[in-house]
A and B are shown apart, each in its own frame.
Chain A
Amino acid sequence: MQATEPNQRIGIDVDGFHAGHEAVIREIYLEHGAALLRETCRYTGPAEAESVVHDVFVELLRNRALRAQFVGGALAAWLREIARLKALEHLRRARRQPPQELGPEAHSGEGSLEARDVLTRFLTAEVPEAQRQFFGMRFLARQTQVEIAAQLGIPRSTLEGWEHRLTEKLRAFIVERSP
């Protein structure tokens, strides 16, 4: 079983990890951070999950004794357990009940549906007519600016400006005006 754990695949620098090297811990974050967020969302909401992952890695960077507890093996499972304990501790302190039954691990598909919905509403309500094709290609189809510039025959610098302004309008649409 352990041979399938991600840390086994990438072969972390255990000595560097124990020494608290930021680069090593960053590699671990890049490898495990997203999965840890999804896993923590089984106990909490996405905002608190970020708080937990933030706590876990701050602790890994700061706490030599915690790092020393990892002696090899299933790093992902070890991180999950730290995150789980931190989540439960936060819930207890906030006098909130942990879930009776853990939900399934959140899949990016659910988030994608929500994202697509809000993008579609924004496109209809806020995007100027001249920029709609660009918006669809860039934000919905996730094409690169270079690809879009070539297809539409519009300078990339123009697209850059559009994207910047659309991003700001999108922030206001989601953060300030959502019900």
Chain B
Amino acid sequence: MIHALHVRRIDRYFGGTLPPAAATAMFRRLWSCGACRVRYERHLLHERVLPDGDARQQQRLWDSIVASARVDAHPTLSGQPALEVRGRSFRPSALLGAGALAGLLLLVAVGAHLKTVSGPVARGTNVEEARAPSVHFFRTVGDRQTEPVAGTMHEDDSILVAYSNPGAEFSYLMVFAVDARGGVHWYYPAYEQPGQNPLAPAIRTRALGVELGEEIRHALPVGPLRMVALFLRRPLPVEEIEGMVSRAWSSHGGSVAALDTLPLPVADGEQLSRLLEVVP
């Protein structure tokens, strides 16, 4: 399912209909997805066999470069260039705006649902001064809309994640969900094949409302689901985190509702979690 989204994104890129922010994410995806590379290279071959193929390729790549540079140069709420803005498969610019705005709003609105070092952000607090990181979840509604995830989500919802990292102490982020049976579903980084064991990707510091770009859909079982975000000082591998989840799961009696923290050394990161209900 997710692979189909990536393939569609590559097709749209070569068709000239992929938004620039999504192109950045598509290029990054090429490094970790062999099937995506094959698809991309078939498009390259098609381009090359055309009578004007060389010129097409040259122009396509330049257009993409310029568009990406313009998107990435848009200042974020933190006033810094959007170094890590990643695209998604539809309406990235609208979502970027929504994500950034939601980043501001949800720091307060969602604060009560998240465990943070600094505690809840007081009403009226300047968010630039509130240095605790936060994470925000959006679900797709229809073809072109998103909305913040409240207390429930559907089992087939595509989820888009955005984060705010106003401080400078955390440089890496992992986002995953633990279902009612203790199963771990990875949102960030992608973990699609056993044995890959990817590391936590780098994120921006001193930035608010940064979307992670790719909408992700997992086949989630109906029931309680705990979404967990780990802001880290060093990149940990997913298998290490899954080991922590397993140990925490056992020590908390196999209850996702009770599993609010992992046995993670405090110096290594900050844990945020939120309990949701997955409904049919």
Contact = CB atoms under 8 A, between A and B. Distances in A.
Interface in A81-97: 90-91, 93-96
Given A33-B58, A54-B68, A55-B27, A48 B51 contact: no
B259 interface: no
Contacts of B44: 46-47, 50
A97 to B, nearest CB: 13
A171 B199 CA distance: 36
A58 B31 CA distance: 18
A118 B65 contact: no
A58 B68 contact: yes
Nearest to A51: B27
A54 B61 contact: yes
Interface string A39-50: 000000111101
Contacts of B72: 58, 62
A95 B201 CA distance: 12
A50 to B, nearest CB: 6
Given A139-B51, A167-B50, A50 B199 contact: no
Interface residues of B, number: 39
B81 interface: yes
A163 B48 CA distance: 15
The DSSP consensus for interface residues of chain A is: helix
Interface string A96-107: 100000000000
A10 interface: no
A91 B31 contact: yes
For chain A, the bracket of interface size reads 35 or more
Given A34-B58, A95-B196, A175 B31 contact: no
A94 B39 CA distance: 18
B30 A61 contact: no
A24 interface: no
B49 A62 contact: no
Given A30-B58, A48-B31, A95-B199, A118 B73 contact: no
B69 interface: yes
A96 B49 contact: no
Contacts of A62: 69, 72-73, 81
A175 to B, nearest CB: 5
B45 interface: yes
B168 interface: no
Interface of B: 11, 23, 27-28, 30-32, 36-37, 39-46, 48-51, 53-54, 58, 61-62, 64-66, 68-69, 72-73, 81, 196-199, 201
